[in-house]
Amino acid sequence: MRLVLLHSPLVGPTTWAPVAHLLRRAGAQVVVPDIRAAVTARPPYQSAISRSVAEALAAAPDGAPLVLVGHSGAGPLLPGIADTSGIAVQALIYVDAGLPRPGTNWFERAPGDRAEHLRRLAAGGVLPPWDEWFETGAVDALISDPELRSRFRHELPRLPVAFLAEPTPPAVWAGPSGYLLLSEGYRTDADKARGNGWPVLEKLSHHLGILTQPADVADALNSLCRVLVTDSGRRSPRRGQ
């Protein structure tokens, strides 16, 4: 099995590092692209993200079924990556992530008054790091290990507001999909996924559980891959349609 673990554009690849280590130790081929340069440079951002994923895979072994896994804000990007990166993808897995709404931007998908809150936070068209979007101590409560928290914070990008205003590609994924729920904040998305007939697993901890409870997440990803990647699917990789 090959897995691409895509971090949210709001954070960095360290969020996936513990899970990637466990999956590799279990025999999986794992790629963790770093998309920070793609989301902080110039538009179009999402085509740059697709190129980053394709470049990261170019140096990885080929042949095994490929599953794209997206955490949080990476979720809505998955169909576009599958469609435009030139990669033959077997399945998509959303981890505590928003579901795709092709052709919409982040502001249109944002819950409640989140969009207006971020517009107020922006200075010179650039947002502060993700941990400054919330009340003081919120991230400390999620990541208790000081060293791990320091590595996490060091990677946080300063996103241009233009990134949040760029619509996702109109691609629609027609292949297998699954969902892993980590926090109650994404319960609605998990319920929608279940309503779509997708396999849904729950490993409730918190939104950054991929960083602090990696064993549970790795086990859940392995379980979802076993369900999603069938014998017939191995013979017929798909792309977004």
Q: Quote the strand ranges of 96-240, DSSP E.
A: 177-181, 200-202
Tell me: the pLDDT tens digits for 152-162? 999 999 999 99
pLDDT band with cut points at 50, 70 and 90 for residue 135: confident
Tell me: the pLDDT tens digits for 14-31? 999 999 999 999 999 999
Tokens of 97: 């992530």
pLDDT band with cut points at 50, 70 and 90 for residue 128: very high
Provide, rounded to the nearest whole percent, the portion of the chain with pLDDT above 70: 94
What is the rounded average pLDDT for all residues in the chain? Answer: 92
Structural domain spans, the chain: 2-231
Distances (CA, A) of 235 to 64, 120, 128, 225, 230: 11, 50, 45, 15, 9
Tell me: the pLDDT tens digits for 163-221? 999 999 899 999 999 999 999 999 999 999 999 999 999 999 999 999 999 999 999 99
pLDDT band with cut points at 50, 70 and 90 for residue 59: confident
Check residue 240 and give its pLDDT: 44
Among 155, 227, 5, CA closest to 95: 5
Considering the segment(s) 2-231 as one domain, its CATH architecture is 3-Layer(aba) Sandwich (3.40)
pLDDT band with cut points at 50, 70 and 90 for residue 241: very low
Q: Is the pTM of this model over 0.75?
A: yes
- Using the predicted structure, report yes or no on whether residue 231 has a pLDDT greater than 50: no
